[in-house]
Structure 1
Amino acid sequence: MTEKIYVGNKWTESTETLKEINPHDENVVAEVFVANKEITQLALNKAVTHWKKTKENGNIVYQRIELLHQIARNIRAKKGKLSELVSKENGRPITLTRNDVDRAVSIFENTADLGKTSLDGKLLRGDVYSAPKGNENRMIFLSGEPVGPVLAITPFNAPIVQMAFKIAPAILTGCPVIVKPSPFTSSSTLEIGKILQESGIDDDMISILPGGIPVVDQVLESYAVRVVTFTGSSAVGKDISRKSASTLKRVVLELGGADPMLVAEDANVEVAASTAAAGRFSAAGQACNTTKRIFVHKFVAKEFSEHLLENVKKMRVGNPLDEKTAIGPVITENALNSLLSLVSHSTEIGGTLLTGGRRMDGKGYYMYPTVLEDRKHFLLDKDIEIFGPILPIYEFDDYSDAINNINSSKYGLQASVFTEDIKRGVKLGRRIETGAVIINESDRLRWDAYPFGGVKDSGLGREGILETIKNYLDTKLYSILIS
């Protein structure tokens, strides 16, 4: 049965559909209707309708807090169905998609809890300033008020988590949302739409529009939408930013990365190697914040490579629904071929293939986890985000050279530093141009409530529950003459 489009608590059809292909066996997972121009305009109209009602009737926060808790309960109740569907859609191992559902539940619950303190206004003293005259007779306060309709564009690699990050704060603040999911994971996103409806979401508040560029472009042209939040590639993020400029939308971009791991000569090499293997190759390396480049000091380079290969060889590649699978397929045939071409090019110009570098036999878009030794530095283009199970190792003997090589990338999402000397780790971290530096742990770390995002081509603004609440609020000043 073809999945219908969710538009403001109603379900509708169009004349066009898209098919989701399971990257494990290349069979059709689901077929969904694609939003056309009329349906997109309907979603915009509903968002505006909800927005006007919110402004006229007020934003009763305790009701939204209870709604968030109800959504969390209903997502938890469908954990099995949701996690299996996502694994079929994008090839992410079932152990990870179960964690994703748990995390989505936590995001809704934490947003509800933070709603009790994060929406407070602020009383200001006017009488500390002599101008304008009469400040001693005024009461001045600031109020954070919902900014208006939001366009949320979600990626394929963690669709439920990313949707939760973008819509939970919107529900709390009273901002209606149009969600444009990845065409590879629209079905699971629509399942969340069903849960929203079951949970009692306000009419007109949320719409989910499967489709492509035409849907996004139409929404971006509308003055009604005031915020765009996007997770995906840097190229698409820049295009969205350009198109949003004409209507002065607030834009939050969580983009790609080429996250480095720096391993000092005094590091716990076994821990660093196991962390690199798990962080890079789980989910077939399809994550924005995951180690994509290793810089290891020459004194421990051989030992590190040996431990890394030991860990990689223990990781099972296969069916994402198998409980023992660590590495599933990449998302498409084209993605797989691009990754194989990168490996081929690297070895042709001097890189050493330590393991992997080839496609698995049989159906599915599977690639063996690949480790490359690159003594020439950047045989793999530092400005290309490698979205797959490939990990290059670079050896260094001078820290300044290593930092310069790290910072020469146009990306700057997260980084990790492994050293037993914490003082050195912090000093190195200050020199690395990224949005976060994780010392002695994986750069896969992300705290749901805290700021997350990158610098340079890795993003604009920050996500995380508290930051997203701020992104969805405008500061309004009220002045009351009291005498």
Structure 2
Amino acid sequence: MDVVNPATGETVETYETDSSAEVEAKLDRATDAFETWRDRPLREREELLARAGEVLRENKHEYAETMTEEMGKPISQSIGEVEKCAWVCDHYAEHASAYLEPDGHPSPPGTRVKTVYDPLGPVLAVMPWNFPLWQVFRFAAPYLVAGNVGLLKHASNVPGSALAIEEVFREAGFPEGVFQTLLIPSSAVEDVLVDHRVRAATLTGSGPAGRAVASTAGDNLKKTVLELGGSDPFVVLDDADIEAAVETGTWARNLNGGQSCIAAKRFIVHTDVYDAFVDRFVSEVEALVVGDPTDEDTDVGPQARAGLMTELHEQVEASVEAGATVLTGGEPLDGDGAFYPPTVLADVPEGCPADTEETFGPVASVYEVDDEAAAIEKANDTEFGLGASVWTEDRHRGEAIARRIDAGCVYVNELVKSDPRVPFGGIKESGYGRELSEPGIKEFVNRKTVWVN
């Protein structure tokens, strides 16, 4: 696995993939580790997870630099990502006991009936490159503290980040085999997934990858959670605070170089405020600093790989050919590295790539609608259903509209985000299952009924 710095195009590190024998050994270690880890008192597992949070904070600059070098995330955002990973460790270290408390049920006199939550075993996680640490800790913190063990198949362009995560758990004192990284290509995932030692799988990634994992897991009757793509609407109504909507919308579209499933992608704006919003939005987008991701003043770094930038530009070109208007950006930047400028498209025709596909980079599509009903219709006019954002000064109106938008989460006067305290996940082509909060920790447990006479 060659690590290519997307800011320079230079190969900075090469990692050897695991051999078949090494994968076999790791699967055996996971199985052995589970037998003792599952019986470890929950309070001890919580304490180890809290220690993992401390390790993350102690080494946050080192881990942040690894992410930035591997996939181009601006260093300030990389540091923030490490801190968020520590937060999710803190959250489950504090709340896992409450989340996993057995639930009692009505029963005949003299009997006790309850549901207990037992771990399943080794869980395979197939994770993407865009948030190299956060995507992993989002599953690892709840699943490990619940008593499962983890096997990580990370994206091939971030092996250093994958090994850094393994290091975090090792330094925190987790027993050998409780969390392991598999340095394998995507072509080897199916063999691992069908192995009898693997009991469940979670994937964050593309629709085709999700379908492949779900199909294989289904054939083998294994539980899955899928978090797939998104084309999130950002709805700006006629009574919205335009300044706040512009400021947040600019960040919501361009955070992490626009490479986020829950980034705002389709800006649906009421005609009464359309011109004011678009003028300010374009100005804010043009003010973003694009450049060296190791510079703390940089807002937008390179795309994670040159090929990804090429695909993004092809989507823009096809949309323009179909009739879309480029208000700013729209062309790769000259020089080394995979730099694509923050871009705004207006007059986006129905059916073009910027309208129907997920643009996984800093490209915003802006639409003008006549009323609230049209805004809701356009928001739901997508195969995806991950997140949505609604902007209005009337909170009751915002909540009512949120209930009518087909998405796993809707935020009113806020950008869409994942937060350890609330469930996260999508519907339709954006996947199924939930991560985080109490539902997240209970996805991969055996909800066992225990009846005692």
Regarding TM over 0.5, the answer is: yes
> Structure 1 stretches of 5 or more lacking a match?
1-17, 128-135
**Residue in structure 2 matching 1:463, options 435, 446, 453:** 435
Q: Indicate if the aligned counterparts of 2:301 and 2:339 stay in contact, CA closer than 8 A.
A: yes
Amino acid at match of 2:442: K
Q: Distance in 2 between matches of 1:441 and 1:479?
A: 46
**Residue in structure 1 matching 2:250, options 277, 284, 287:** 277
- What secondary structure does 1:116 align onto? helix
Other-structure match for 1:157: 130
Q: Distance in 2 between matches of 1:210 and 1:114?
A: 32
Q: Distance in 2 between matches of 1:210 and 1:383?
A: 34
| Deviation digits for residues 302-350 of structure 1 (CA, Å, limit 9, x no counterpart) | 1111100110111000010101100011111111111111111122221
Change (3 A) 1:124 1:342: closer
Q: Indicate if the aligned counterparts of 1:416 and 1:442 stay in contact, CA closer than 8 A.
A: yes
Change (3 A) 1:381 1:80: closer
- What secondary structure does 1:359 align onto? coil
Other-structure match for 1:119: 100
Q: Would you say 1:38 and 2:18 are equivalent positions?
A: no
- What secondary structure does 1:115 align onto? helix
Alpha-carbon RMSD across the aligned residues, in angstroms, is: 1.5
Deviation at 1:190, TM superposition (A): 0.2
Q: Indicate if the aligned counterparts of 1:107 and 1:465 stay in contact, CA closer than 8 A.
A: no
**Residue in structure 1 matching 2:184, options 208, 211, 216:** 211
| Deviation digits for residues 252-309 of structure 1 (CA, Å, limit 9, x no counterpart) | 0111100001111121112111211111012210011110001111121111111001
How many percent of aligned residue pairs carry the same amino acid?
32
| Deviation digits for residues 9-65 of structure 1 (CA, Å, limit 9, x no counterpart) | xxxxxxxxx11111000112322121232222222212221223346xx23112111
Deviation at 1:168, TM superposition (A): 1.4
TM norm structure 2: 0.96
Q: Distance in 1 between matches of 2:103 and 2:434?
A: 23
Amino acid at match of 1:185: V
- What secondary structure does 1:141 align onto? strand
Q: Distance in 2 between matches of 1:125 and 1:337?
A: 60
When structure 1 is superposed on structure 2, of 453-462 and 424-433 the one drifting more is 424-433
Deviation at 1:110, TM superposition (A): 1.1
- What secondary structure does 2:356 align onto? coil
Q: Distance in 2 between matches of 1:282 and 1:111?
A: 26
Q: Would you say 1:200 and 2:183 are equivalent positions?
A: no
Q: How is 1:96-111 mapped onto 2 (pairs within 5 angstroms)?
A: 96-111=77-92
Q: Would you say 1:21 and 2:4 are equivalent positions?
A: yes
- What secondary structure does 1:267 align onto? coil
Q: Distance in 2 between matches of 1:376 and 1:157?
A: 28
Deviation at 1:203, TM superposition (A): 2.0
Amino acid at match of 1:43: K
**Residue in structure 1 matching 2:76, options 70, 74, 95:** 95
Q: How is 1:285-300 mapped onto 2 (pairs within 5 angstroms)?
A: 285-300=258-273
Other-structure match for 2:316: 343
**Residue in structure 2 matching 1:312, options 285, 288, 296:** 285
Q: How is 1:230-379 mapped onto 2 (pairs within 5 angstroms)?
A: 230-374=203-347, 376-379=349-352
Amino acid at match of 2:387: Q
Give the number of the structure whose alpha-carbon radius of gyration is greater. Answer: 1
Q: Indicate if the aligned counterparts of 2:4 and 2:10 stay in contact, CA closer than 8 A.
A: yes
Deviation at 1:137, TM superposition (A): 4.2
Q: Distance in 2 between matches of 1:81 and 1:271?
A: 34
Q: Distance in 2 between matches of 1:172 and 1:413?
A: 26
- What secondary structure does 2:452 align onto? strand
When structure 1 is superposed on structure 2, of 285-294 and 423-432 the one drifting more is 423-432
**Residue in structure 2 matching 1:67, options 48, 60, 64:** 48
Other-structure match for 2:152: 179
Q: Distance in 1 between matches of 2:274 and 2:419?
A: 31
Deviation at 1:138, TM superposition (A): 2.9
Q: Distance in 2 between matches of 1:116 and 1:427?
A: 35
Deviation at 1:251, TM superposition (A): 0.5
Q: Distance in 1 between matches of 2:292 and 2:344?
A: 22
Q: Distance in 1 between matches of 2:245 and 2:325?
A: 21
Q: Distance in 1 between matches of 2:25 and 2:297?
A: 45
| Deviation digits for residues 61-89 of structure 1 (CA, Å, limit 9, x no counterpart) | 12111111221111211111111110111
**Residue in structure 1 matching 2:32, options 49, 53, 60:** 49
| Deviation digits for residues 103-137 of structure 1 (CA, Å, limit 9, x no counterpart) | 1111111111012312211333321xxxxxxxx34
Q: Indicate if the aligned counterparts of 1:37 and 1:215 stay in contact, CA closer than 8 A.
A: no
Q: Distance in 1 between matches of 2:21 and 2:356?
A: 39
